[in-house]
Amino acid sequence: MSTERTGELQSLIVAHDRKVGEALAHFEASRQQLQTRDFIVPHSYDGIQTGTIENIDRIRLQWLRPDLFLYIPKAAEPFAFVRHGGKRIVPRTMITDGGTIPKVLGMFGSGLSPMGYLPAFLVHDWEFESHHCGDITNSFEDVRDTMMEILKTMMETGIVNKNIVTFTTIYAGINSPIARGYWNRDPPSCTLPPDQPE
């Protein structure tokens, strides 16, 4: 990696850390409100459709530091998710921690692993970052439901074990006021590096 690219990536990592830090500060300030768990509404596993996961074996991460990676898409046959209605989502080059909001909420300490559900978190991170860069017009709810659709697809196809408790817990995290605040942050702060597939 060139010195110029390394410097650019470091600047984006600092911006990413700032966004995560703001989400954590918001969480700490809202802890009392969150104890009511109003955002944890029952979500029907059966009510979510499944899609198609493409090229899951072509996911490539470059380690940047503990719990932070650069996702590098393949130029040919990249990892993608096709929603039940036919919309195809193809994550591009991005910085990812494998699930910002569940990490902020402490959900990974409860037995969940960002790497265990990595394909779903990559699609979710990609849509969040694309939103912050002004590249998509999807709603918060649409992006949330895409995450649940790929998660259910992973469970139904045997990529991961089917676990309704995990499904509901992840839904609670990505549907929380913290997640919505992260989605609505102002300024949005685009932290996508230039796309450089391999």
- pLDDT over 90 (residue 90): yes
Pairwise CA distance, residues 3 & 19, whole Å: 25
Q: Provide the pLDDT for residue 36.
A: 43
Q: Which pairing describes strands 88-89 and 61-65: parallel, antiparallel, or unpaired?
A: unpaired
Q: Which two tokens stand for residue 41?
A: 């509404």
Q: Provide the pLDDT for residue 118.
A: 93
Pairwise CA distance, residues 172 & 165, whole Å: 10
Pairwise CA distance, residues 148 & 43, whole Å: 10
Closest CA to 79 of 103, 110, 55: 55
Task: Give the mean pLDDT of the chain.
Answer: 83
Read off the pLDDT of residues 30-83 as tens digits, 9 standing for 90 and up: 555 555 454 555 568 899 999 999 999 999 999 998 888 999 999 999 999 999
- Percent of the chain exceeding pLDDT 90 equals 48
Find the range with the poorest average confidence among 6-10, 21-25, 107-111: 107-111
Find the range with the poorest average confidence among 3-7, 60-64, 97-101, 145-149: 3-7
- Percent of the chain exceeding pLDDT 70 equals 76
Within the chain, strands assigned E span 52-54, 61-65, 68-71, 80-82, 88-89, 94-96
Cα-based distances in Å from 30 to 26, 141, 157:
6, 21, 37
| pTM summary value | 0.82
Q: Provide the pLDDT for residue 184.
A: 86
Q: Which two tokens stand for residue 103?
A: 């990490």
Pairwise CA distance, residues 125 & 174, whole Å: 11
Rg (CA), the chain: 16
Q: Provide the pLDDT for residue 58.
A: 96
